[in-house]
Structure 1
Amino acid sequence: MSFKHLPLLGAAEIIGALGLSPEQTAAAADMAHRVAQSAWRRRGPRKSGQSYEEFAATVSDCAWLTMFEFGALLALGRRREALLLADASRVVHQAARTAARK
């Protein structure tokens, strides 16, 4: 488990709000890092020279917390809510990218 890139105050709020155990917290942190590593492996040619640490440092706090909450919901057995969170996150990030291009 690594909290290296997770915003600690935000993670603490999620831990408290969901009532996570230490094991569930560890699983959620691991999930956040696995998702980030997956994104790093699929990065485009523009970012292909970045190490994982460089890439992880550019991930927004909001994205880290979303990935952490996704993992927390899965650790709690709340798969449907986790998938809804992931879908909502994709929609919001896609809308932000579209707005940034205009």
Structure 2
Amino acid sequence: MSFKHLPLLGTAELIGALKLNPKQTAAAANLAHRVTHNAWRRRPSHKGGQTYDEFAATVSDCAWLTMFEVGALLALGRRQEALLLTEASRSVHQVTHPGPPR
């Protein structure tokens, strides 16, 4: 588990608010890093020279915390809330989701 890019204060607040145990905390942090790593691998060609750490440093604190919270909710078995948070985040940031229409 790495907290290297996660904003520590916000992450600590989520851990406390959701009462995460160490295993759940690790799962949430790992999910945030996996999502970011996938985005880095799919980055546009004009960002092709960036290392993962350089790319991760450009991800906003809000995005890191949202990914961490989604991971935490999944670790707690609260899948529906995680899906709602993901959809709300996409709506706010107007991210298009490739895939079949819902």
TM-score using structure 2 length: 0.90
Counterparts of residues 1-102 of structure 1 (less than 5 Å): 1-94=1-94
- Aligned-residue Cα RMSD (Å) equals 1.0
Structure having the larger proportion of residues in helix:
1
Q: Tell me how far apart the structure 1 counterparts of residues 86 and 42 of structure 2 sit (CA, whole Å).
A: 18
User: Identity of counterpart residues, as a percentage?
Assistant: 77
1:38-63 deviation line (CA, Å, top 9, x unaligned): 11111111211111010000000000
Q: Tell me how far apart the structure 2 counterparts of residues 50 and 93 of structure 1 sit (CA, whole Å).
A: 23
Q: Tell me how far apart the structure 1 counterparts of residues 91 and 47 of structure 2 sit (CA, whole Å).
A: 23
Structure 2 alignment gaps of length 5 or more: 96-102
TM-score using structure 1 length: 0.90
1:48-81 deviation line (CA, Å, top 9, x unaligned): 1111010000000000000000100000001111
Structure 1 alignment gaps of length 5 or more: 96-102
- Displacement of 1:94: 1.4
Q: How many residues align?
A: 95
Q: Which runs of 4+ in 1 moved over 4 A?
A: none
Q: Tell me how far apart the structure 2 counterparts of residues 92 and 86 of structure 1 sit (CA, whole Å).
A: 10
